[in-house]
Structures are given as structure tokens and as C-alpha cells.
């Protein structure tokens, strides 16, 4: 059973398009996250949600809008895609979010904007 | 602001050699958590270890061992008798209490040659 899953695994699209990435966790965790990994492999937090409430929005452009319909899902919608949005996006979850708990990551979604 | 530094960008070793990855961190908090993750060529992020700031005991798990020293703000990772399957990017990360995110170092790419 996959603990944290993301779809799609690969996403290739044109500049200006709108796209979504879905994330689901079956671990019963309360907190979910989105991270971006750039071409140099640097990982940076984008959003944190605890019990469906937004906790962190780390200076991400408002073209990025996370949505958490329930505790098990955190989707990422991106409007008006730009070349600089090309990256690998990782979803993660943890039991709590206070910094004490281990985050478990999904397999990543490689987004390529042409 | 918290910060994690992995000064080694790349390390290349021959199979069966030992390899040590350095991680130095900065934080103003007295309570914090340190992590190591592995990212193999397949791209997923695999959790290896979590250590809290009050537990300075070294830990060993098979061929992996970790040395945590608060006095030098370091949390180093050693792979003993490396194998080709250890080839990956290894990330050190820090989380402070009540901080809903991981702050990652830049990663160290380990290449183990047969």
C-alpha cells in the first residue's frame, strides 16, 4: 500500500496553462505539505496544512493555490504556468506538524513547462 | 532563521569504502529535530533518521551511523562499507518545535563505484 501518493508522476505543459497535482495519504496523518525541488535539487517548503487549515504559505506566488478537501488530500493547482515553475513537486505528510514528527514524502511530480 | 549546511556537494568512493557526510545546522531554539533523507536516482525521498536535540547518543542502523554533537552543531552521517545501492543524494534537514516545515540542506551526492 502506498503511504503518500501523487498524480501525475510527470506533467508536461505549455506556458500559460493551468494544471493540478493531486496528493493523497493513507497514513491517517493530520498535516500535509508541498515542497518544490529545483533543478539544483534544493528542496523548499511551499505550503503546510494542518487539519485542512493553511499553516504555512512560504512566499509562494498566488498562482499556486493549495486545496485540502479533507485531511487525507492536499491538491496543488497552478495557474498561468511559467517556465520557472518547472521543478519536481513533492507532497508529504506527518502525524502532527509541530516539528516533532517525521514527514513522509510522496514519489514526486516532475513538472515541465515548455 | 534556521539553516542547514552540507558543505560537500559530491563524494565519490569505491565500493566497500566508508563515507562520511557532514551536516552543520543553525537554530536559536533549544528544542529541535534533525533528519536525514535519501534520494536515490529513482527520485523518491526516503526517511532515514530523526533525532531530537536532547538526545546526543550516536545511532547505528546496519551500515549507517549518525554522530550528533550539539557543541559543534553537527549531525554527521557515515555509511560503512559502501555499496553501489548507496549511490544517492543525501539531505540533512532541521525542524524547530512549532515549525510546520523542514529546512533542508543543499544535499550531498554520493556515488559509489563498483
Residue A29's closest CA among A89, A75, A88, A74? A74
With contacts defined as CB-CB under 8 Å, which chain A residues touch B88? none
Cα distance between residue B95 and residue A47, in whole Å: 15
Residue B68's closest CA among B82, B54, B48? B54
**pLDDT 10s digits, B71-88:** 999 999 999 999 999 999
Residues of A with CB under 8 A from a CB of B: 31, 33, 35, 40-45, 48, 50, 55-56, 58, 88, 90, 92, 97-100, 102-108, 110
Indicate if the pLDDT at residue B1 is higher than 70: no
The answer to whether B18 and B77 are in contact (CB under 8 A) is no
How far does CA B58 lie from the centroid of its chain?
13
Sorting pLDDT into bands at 50, 70 and 90, what band is A1?
low
pLDDT at site B57: 86
Q: Side-chain half-sphere of A39: how many Cα atoms within 13 Å?
A: 6
Cα distance between residue B18 and residue B83, in whole Å: 10
Helix, strand, coil abundance in chain B, percent, nearest 5: 5, 55, 40
**pLDDT 10s digits, A103-114:** 999 999 999 999
Cα distance between residue B104 and residue A92, in whole Å: 14
- Contact between chains at B89 and A41 (C-beta distance less than 8 A): yes
Residues A67-83: what's their mean pLDDT? 95
For A98, name the nearest residue in chain B, comparing CA atoms only: B98
pLDDT at site A72: 95
Q: Side-chain half-sphere of B38: how many Cα atoms within 13 Å?
A: 18
Sorting pLDDT into bands at 50, 70 and 90, what band is A63?
very high
Cα distance between residue B85 and residue B111, in whole Å: 9
Q: A91 CA to chain B: closest CA distance, Å?
A: 10
Asked if omega into A8 is within 30° of 0 (cis), the reply is yes
Residues A45-61: what's their mean pLDDT? 88
| Those residues with Cβ within 8 angstroms of residue A52's Cβ, 6 or more apart along the chain or in another chain | A68, A69, A70, A71
CB atoms within 10 A of CB B37: 23
Amino acid at each position: 500500500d502506498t503511504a503518500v501518493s501523487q498524480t501525475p508522476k510527470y506533467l508536461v505543459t505549455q506556458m500559460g496553462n493551468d494544471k493540478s497535482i493531486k496528493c493523497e495519504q493513507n497514513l491517517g496523518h493530520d498535516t500535509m505539505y508541498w515542497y518544490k525541488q529545483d533543478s539544483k535539487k534544493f528542496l523548499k517548503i511551499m505550503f503546510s496544512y494542518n487539519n485542512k487549515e493553511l499553516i504555512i504559505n512560504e512566499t509562494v506566488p498566488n498562482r499556486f493555490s493549495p486545496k485540502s478537501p479533507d485531511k487525507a488530500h492536499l491538491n496543488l493547482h497552478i495557474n498561468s504556468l511559467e517556465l520557472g515553475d518547472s521543478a519536481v513537486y513533492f507532497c508529504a505528510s506527518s502525524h502532527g506538524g509541530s516539528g516533532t514528527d517525521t514527514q513522509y514524502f510522496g514519489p514526486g511530480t516532475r513538472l515541465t513547462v515548455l | 532563521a534556521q539553516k542547514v549546511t552540507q558543505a560537500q556537494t559530491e563524494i565519490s568512493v569505491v565500493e566497500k569504502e566508508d563515507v562520511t557526510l557532514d551536516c552543520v545546522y543553525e537554530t536559536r531554539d533549544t528544542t529541535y529535530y534533525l533528519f536525514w533523507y535519501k534520494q536515490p536516482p529513482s527520485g523518491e525521498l526516503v526517511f532515514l533518521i530523526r533525532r531530537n536535540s536532547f538526545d546526543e547518543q550516536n545511532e547505528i542502523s546496519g551500515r549507517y551511523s549518525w554522530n550528533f554533537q550539539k557543541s559543534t552543531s553537527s549531525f554527521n552521517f557515515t555509511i560503512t562499507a559502501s555499496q553501489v545501492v548507496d549511490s544517492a543524494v543525501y539531505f540533512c534537514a532541521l525542524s524547530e518545535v512549532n515549525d510546520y516545515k523542514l529546512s533542508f540542506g543543499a544535499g550531498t551526492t554520493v556515488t559509489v563505484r563498483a
